[in-house]
Chains A and B, each alone.
Chain A
Amino acid sequence: MAQSTAALQFSGHLGLRHRLVLAIVSGKPLRVDKIRPHDQNPGLRDYEVSLLRLLERITNGTVIEISVTGTAVLVKPGIIAGGSVTHDCPLSRSIGYFLEPVIMLAPFSKKPLQLTLRGITSDDRDLSADLTRTVTLPYLQLFGVSDGLELRIKKRGCAPLGGGEVQFLCPIVKQLKTLHFVERGKIKRIRGISHAVRVNPQFSNRMIEAARSVLNRYIPDIYLYSDVYKGEDSGKSPGYGLSLLAETTTGALHSAEAISQPGVAPEDIALQASRALLSEVRHGGCVDRAHQMLVLLMMVLGSEDVGRCRMGEPTERTIQFLRDVQTCFGTTFKIVPADPMDRSSTELMFSCYGIGYVNANRTLA
C-alpha cells in the first residue's frame, strides 16, 4: 500500500495477533518490545513464534527479527501471498489461536488460501473449529467474502495431545462491502454441535439433553447435532464439548461453547455452554463478543462509505484493538448508545468511515 511506512511501535505480549494483522494489512513495519520482560521465562512463547512462522509462510517477503532474549520482535511485512500452506500448531494453543489472524488476512491474498492446520481443534481459550465454521465464517460473508469460503474439520483433536486437522479455504476479494447491521432482531433458532471423542459416545447425547433442559423453554426450533468422529479421525486424547449458536431474524449470531474439564460431568458442561449462550444473548448487539474485532476490522477496511453496526459493550481486547486501529490507520469509530431513549440499554452503535482498502496483491496477479 502506498501509505506512510512509519513503523508501528507497541509494548507487551497482549494483542500481538491483531497487531500483526494490522501491520501486514497496512504494510507498515511492526516493532513490539517488552514481551514478558519480568517473567520467569521471558520473551515470546512457542505458540507466538509458531504464529510468526505461519504468517511468514502465507506472506511473501516478510522479514521477522527476534531479539536474542526474545523480548522484542520486528516484523517487516511482505505481501499476502496465500496459496496452499500446511502448518503444525504447537500443543500449547489450539488451532483457533492461529486461525483468528489468518481469517482476517486471507481475503486480501494474492491467490486463494488453502490452509491446513494440525493440532488441537477445541480448547477453552480460543474459538473452537466448530464455532469458527458456524459463526466466524458467516460474519465474513457479510462483507462479501463468500464463494468458496469453507472450513473442513477433517479430524478432531482434544488437549493435551491434539491430533486434529482442519482445512481452511478462503476466496480473495478486491474490496469489502460496507456493513449496515443495525437491527438485532429476535432469536428464531438455536443450533449446536456436540462432540465426544475417545470417550463413551453417549456423552454427546447426554450433553444435548442437558442443553435442551435449559433452552427448550424459549423456542422449539433447536437442533443440536451429535458429531461423531471415530478411529484415526478422533485425535489422540479423549474429550468432549458443546458449541451453541443462536440466530436472530436479521441474521445476527451469538455463540458460546464449553469444553470438557477433568472431573466435570457432560451435563454440567452442557449447562455451562447453555448459560454462557444466554449471557451472550443478553449482552446484546448484532455481533457476539468474540467477533467484535473481526467485524470492526472489516468495517475499517471497507469501501469509502460509512459502515454501521450495533454491538454490545466492547471487550478488553476490542478496546485495545480500537486504539491500535487508530494508531495504524488513523481511523476512529463513532460510538454512541444504540437506543438513546432507553437508558437501561447498554447496546452501542459503532460507525466508521471505511478507508477503502483495495486488495493490491490481487490486482498485481
Chain B
Amino acid sequence: RKNWSKVIYSTSISPRDILSGTAAPPTTPKNLDDEEFFTQVSTAPIVTEGDFDMSKEFVNVDDLREWEDEAMLDSVRGLFITGTSLEGEFK
C-alpha cells in the first residue's frame, strides 16, 4: 500500500507518475486469484488534451464501457441504501 504522505511531501515524483504507479497494483477484487485471470498492469497512455489546466478529469469513453457489464453494475450496489439487503443475496 502506498504511503501517500511520503510520496507527496518527501519525494519530487511528478503527480502523474505517482498516480500511474498506483495503477500498477491489480485493481481486481482480491478473491479472483486465479492464475489465468489477466490483470491489467498498465493503462492506456493518458490523453493529456494538450496539458490543459482542467477542473474535470478527462473522461475516456472506452473506460466507461466497463459499465456495460451487469456484474460491474451490481458491484457498486452496496454503496446505495437499497444495497444492504441485496448484498447478502449476492454473497
Provide the bound-state CA to CA distance between A257 and B57, in Å. Answer: 11
Interface residue A83 (Cβ < 8 Å from any Cβ of B): no
Which residue, B18, B49, B80, B84, has most C-beta atoms of chain A within 10 A?
A: B80
Q: Do A282 and B79 contact each other (CB < 8 Å), given the known contacts A276-B59, A335-B8?
A: yes
- Nearest B-chain residue to A217, judged by Cβ: B73
Interface residue B71 (Cβ < 8 Å from any Cβ of A): no
User: Closest approach, in angstroms, between the C-beta of B71 and any C-beta of chain A?
Assistant: 13
Interface string of B23-64 (1 = CB under 8 A from A): 000000110000000000000000001011111110101011
Q: Could you tell me if A276 and B79 are in contact, using CB atoms closer than 8 angstroms?
A: no
Q: Could you tell me if A333 and B56 are in contact, using CB atoms closer than 8 angstroms?
A: no
List residues of chain B with CB under 8 Å of any chain A CB.
Answer: 1, 4-5, 8-9, 15-16, 18-19, 22, 29-30, 49, 51-57, 59, 61, 63-64, 67, 73, 75-77, 79-84
The tally of residues in A whose CB lies under 8 Å from a CB in B reads 53
Provide the bound-state CA to CA distance between A126 and B56, in Å. Answer: 5
Provide the bound-state CA to CA distance between A278 and B82, in Å. Answer: 15
Provide the bound-state CA to CA distance between A96 and B55, in Å. Answer: 8
Q: Could you tell me if B81 and A219 are in contact, using CB atoms closer than 8 angstroms?
A: yes
User: Closest approach, in angstroms, between the C-beta of B61 and any C-beta of chain A?
Assistant: 6
Interface residue A317 (Cβ < 8 Å from any Cβ of B): yes
User: Closest approach, in angstroms, between the C-beta of A140 and any C-beta of chain B?
Assistant: 15
- Nearest A-chain residue to B6, judged by Cβ: A335
List residues of chain A with CB under 8 Å of any chain B CB.
Answer: 13-17, 96-97, 100, 124-127, 186-188, 214, 217-220, 249, 257-258, 271-272, 274-276, 278-279, 281-282, 289-290, 313-317, 319-320, 322-323, 326, 332-337, 343-344, 348
Q: Could you tell me if B56 and A17 are in contact, using CB atoms closer than 8 angstroms?
A: no
Provide the bound-state CA to CA distance between A100 and B59, in Å. Answer: 20
Q: Could you tell me if A317 and B82 are in contact, using CB atoms closer than 8 angstroms?
A: no
Q: Could you tell me if B1 and A337 are in contact, using CB atoms closer than 8 angstroms?
A: yes
User: Closest approach, in angstroms, between the C-beta of A337 and any C-beta of chain B?
Assistant: 7
Q: Could you tell me if A316 and B9 are in contact, using CB atoms closer than 8 angstroms?
A: no
- Nearest A-chain residue to B49, judged by Cβ: A125
User: What would 4 more interface pairs be, CB under 8 Å, given A125-B52, A281-B79?
Assistant: A96-B55, A290-B57, A315-B57, A335-B4
Provide the bound-state CA to CA distance between A16 and B4, in Å. Answer: 23
* In-complex Cβ contact of B1 among A13, A187, A317, A343 (8 A): A343
Provide the bound-state CA to CA distance between A167 and B19, in Å. Answer: 36
Provide the bound-state CA to CA distance between A337 and B82, in Å. Answer: 26
